[in-house]
Structure 1
Amino acid sequence: MNTLTRITSLGLITLLALSSCETRGDDPIPVVPPSEGSKLTLQGGAGESDAANAVYVDFSADKQTSVDRKSWSLGFYNQDAYRVILNNQAAYAAKATDKTDILAVNSTNTDINVLAYGFGPEKLANYDGTDGDMSKTVIAEISAAGASNLVYIVNTVHGGKIDKENVYKVRINRGNSNDYILEYAKIDEKQIQKATIKKDAKTTFTFFSFTGGTVQVEPAKDSWDIVWTKSMFHTGALAYAFSDLVFINHLNGVSAAEVIFQDKSGKSTDQPSYEEFDASKLSSIEFLKGRNTIGSSWRRTTAMKDDPRVGVMPDRYYVIRDQVGNIYKLRFLAMGVNNDGGKRGYPEIEYKLVKGK
Structure 2
Amino acid sequence: MKNFITILFVFIVMIPVSCIHEDDTPVKIPPTESAVLSPEVGGPAEQNQIWIQLSAQPANAMKSTPREAWDLGFYSGEDFRVILNSSLVMAVGKIKNAYNIDEVNAQTIGDMMNWVQVGNFQDNSQYVDNPNGEILTQTSGIAPIEANDNFNNVYLLNMGYKAYTGNTVPGSIYSIGEERGWKKIRILRTTGGYKIQYADLDQTTHQEFTITKDAEYNYQFFSIVKGALANIQPKKNSWDLCFTVFTNTILNPTNNLLTSYIFPDFVVTNTLGNVVAYEVTTAPGQGEAAYSRFKLQDVDATKFVLHEQRTIGSNWRTTTGSNGVEVYSNKFYVVKNSDGFYFKLRFLRMKNNEGYRGYPQFEYKAL
TM, length-normalised to structure 1: 0.82
Q: Which gives a bigger RCO, structure 1 or 2 (Cα 8 Å, sep 6+)?
A: 2
Q: Bigger CA drift: 307-316 or 123-132?
A: 307-316
Could you tell me how far 1:310 is from its partner in structure 2?
3.9
| 2:215 corresponds to which of 195, 198, 201 | 201
Could you tell me how far 1:238 is from its partner in structure 2?
2.8
| 1:278 corresponds to which of 269, 285, 295 | 295
Aligned mates of 1:295, 1:139 — CA distance in 2: 23
Aligned mates of 1:293, 1:248 — CA distance in 2: 7
C-alpha offsets along residues 155-202 of structure 1, whole Å, 9 cap, x if unaligned? 11349xxx99711110011112x2101111010112210011100011
Amino acid at match of 1:201: A
| 2:90 corresponds to which of 67, 71, 92 | 92
| 1:53 corresponds to which of 39, 44, 48 | 48
Aligned mates of 1:230, 1:125 — CA distance in 2: 19
Identical amino acids, percent of aligned pairs:
32
- In structure 2, the residue matched to 1:292 is 310
* Kept in 2: contact 1:50–1:230 (CA 8 A): no
- In structure 1, the residue matched to 2:123 is 122
Aligned mates of 1:231, 1:186 — CA distance in 2: 25
Could you tell me how far 1:287 is from its partner in structure 2?
1.3
Could you tell me how far 1:103 is from its partner in structure 2?
1.0
Aligned mates of 1:242, 1:101 — CA distance in 2: 35
TM, length-normalised to structure 2: 0.80
Aligned mates of 2:278, 2:289 — CA distance in 1: 13
Aligned mates of 2:221, 2:317 — CA distance in 1: 29
* Kept in 1: contact 2:28–2:339 (CA 8 A): no
- In structure 2, the residue matched to 1:6 is none
- Segments of 5+ residues of structure 2 without an aligned counterpart are 1-16, 163-177, 252-257
- In structure 1, the residue matched to 2:277 is 256
- Report the RMSD for the aligned CA atoms in angstroms: 2.6
* Kept in 1: contact 2:299–2:334 (CA 8 A): no
Could you tell me how far 1:288 is from its partner in structure 2?
1.4
Amino acid at match of 1:132: G
* Kept in 2: contact 1:334–1:342 (CA 8 A): no
Aligned mates of 2:143, 2:359 — CA distance in 1: 36
* Kept in 1: contact 2:145–2:152 (CA 8 A): yes
Could you tell me how far 1:272 is from its partner in structure 2?
7.2
Could you tell me how far 1:280 is from its partner in structure 2?
2.2
- In structure 2, the residue matched to 1:182 is 196
| 1:37 corresponds to which of 23, 29, 34 | 34
SS at match of 2:123: helix
Could you tell me how far 1:234 is from its partner in structure 2?
2.3
* Kept in 2: contact 1:164–1:187 (CA 8 A): no
Could you tell me how far 1:74 is from its partner in structure 2?
0.6
Amino acid at match of 2:250: T
Aligned mates of 1:252, 1:284 — CA distance in 2: 17
Amino acid at match of 1:57: I
Q: How does 1:79-228 map to 2 (within 5 A)?
A: 79-98=77-96, 99-110=98-109, 111=111, 112-134=113-135, 135-136=137-138, 137-158=140-161, 166-176=181-191, 178-212=192-226, 213-228=228-243
Amino acid at match of 2:236: K
Could you tell me how far 1:308 is from its partner in structure 2?
7.0
